[in-house]
Amino acid sequence: MTFEDARALDAADSLAPTRARFTLPDGPVYLDGNSLGALPAVAPARLSDAVERQWGAQLIGSWNSEGWIDAPARVAGKIAPLLGAAADQLLVADSTSVNLFKLAVAGLRLSGRPELLTETGNFPTDLHIAEGAVAAVPGARLRAVGPGKIQAAIGPETAVLLLTHVHYRTGAKRDMAALTARAHAAGALVLWDLSHSAGAVPLALDAWDVDLAVGCGYKFLNGGPGAPAFLYAARRHHERLETPLPGWFGHTEPFAFDDAYRPAPGVARFACGTPPILSLLALEAGVETFADVDLPALWAKSRALWDLFAAELARRCPELEIITPADPDARGSQLSVRHPEAWPLCQALIAAGVVGDFRAPDVLRFGITPLYTRHADIWTAVDRLADILATERWRDPRFQAHAKVT
């Protein structure tokens, strides 16, 4: 394929106009929207209004007059269609890590069984939080098995199966419906981490009978750095789930200033403290970038971009090993390759105007965000990568220096 061919695909792309919903820099090709989504075009004006008028001029009155108090549920309602979930089962609050803790403990207590089952090689916070969750529940223990051993490990001791739907490093996607059914058949609950799924791949939490889920606001949902996260709890569990962090915002009547904690009905009890309004409004702008988008068409475009990426890599960079599954049913919206010098390669690529990221120890990762990624971007990324590999420009010592954030 030539650059002109890729441009022709963009010209025929029915989703091409959604790129205008973002403010992107002119130069670089951005393939890291799975780590930090791009800036929604309306976000700066929304945030400056929130700061100057709502906070600056109206001060505390904005909690009521601007609906700040309802923002967590309102934004959750806008995320719900992306998850295939009825809105009253979703809440926007805290970080993914904190939500994982709340739901893992709640799930362990609800089940009464001892074992929190997860996989080794999961995103580190999931494993660390899992350790913290079992430490908080008397009698509970953590069992982490290799990714291929999950099915066989689900058994009569399993309280909660905690898994990530799309793996952050490889992009491999699990069969959520089948694993949920398998856990239920054994009498266990599921807790899915949707950080690399929400806004990226088709989801049907209600139809798949998921019990609990969490996910990230700043990746495919475009909510901005450190955006609040979301949590999902199926309605059938609502009245029996207890949060281990019973803050005043999860109280049924926070402004009754009661000594005694009485949980709010439903998922609202999983709110803890005062919500971060500025961040919530940025997240709302991020989620609104999906407004009126045909989700099957979005996923079809992700697949087409992935196929183009893989075909061009095979043709021009055969030394790179693609570790993301080729089967679209088994992958998320990213493409990862393995190379022993992935770190300097990634730095050389960024210097050449293509932003992907590095994941230890040897993975170069590219996010595909079809709301704003173009076919021409994929073509350019492979073109620059092929050039860097051919010239061995990554050997330049300036590409060896490590930064704090990769």
Ligand X SMILES: *Cc1c(COP(=O)(O)O)cnc(C)c1O
Nearest distance, CB of residue 333 and ligand X, angstroms: 13
**Which of 22, 30, 101, 123 touches ligand X (CB under 6 A)?**
123
- Is 218 catalytic? The answer is yes
Of 58 and 125, nearer to ligand X (C-beta) is 125
Does residue 168 touch ligand X according to CB under 6 A?
Answer: yes
Instruction: Identify residues 300-339 at the interface with ligand X (CB under 6 A).
Output: none
Could you say which of 22, 30, 101, 123 is catalytic?
123
Could you say which of 365, 366, 374, 377 is catalytic?
365
- Is 123 catalytic? The answer is yes
Instruction: Identify residues 225-244 at the interface with ligand X (CB under 6 A).
Output: 229
- Is 30 catalytic? The answer is no
Does residue 125 touch ligand X according to CB under 6 A?
Answer: yes
Could you say which of 22, 168, 218, 309 is catalytic?
218
- Is 257 catalytic? The answer is no
Residue 212 token pair: 């609990």
Instruction: Identify residues 180-219 at the interface with ligand X (CB under 6 A).
Output: 193, 195-196, 216
- Is 102 catalytic? The answer is no
In this chain, which stretch among 10-18, 122-130, 143-151, 270-278 interacts with ligand X, using CB under 6 A? 122-130
Could you say which of 193, 211, 357, 383 is catalytic?
193
Does residue 164 touch ligand X according to CB under 6 A?
Answer: yes
- Residues annotated as catalytic are 123, 193, 218-219, 365
Q: Kindly list the residues in this chain that would bind ligand X in the complex (CB under 6 A).
A: 95-97, 123, 125-126, 164, 168, 193, 195-196, 216, 229
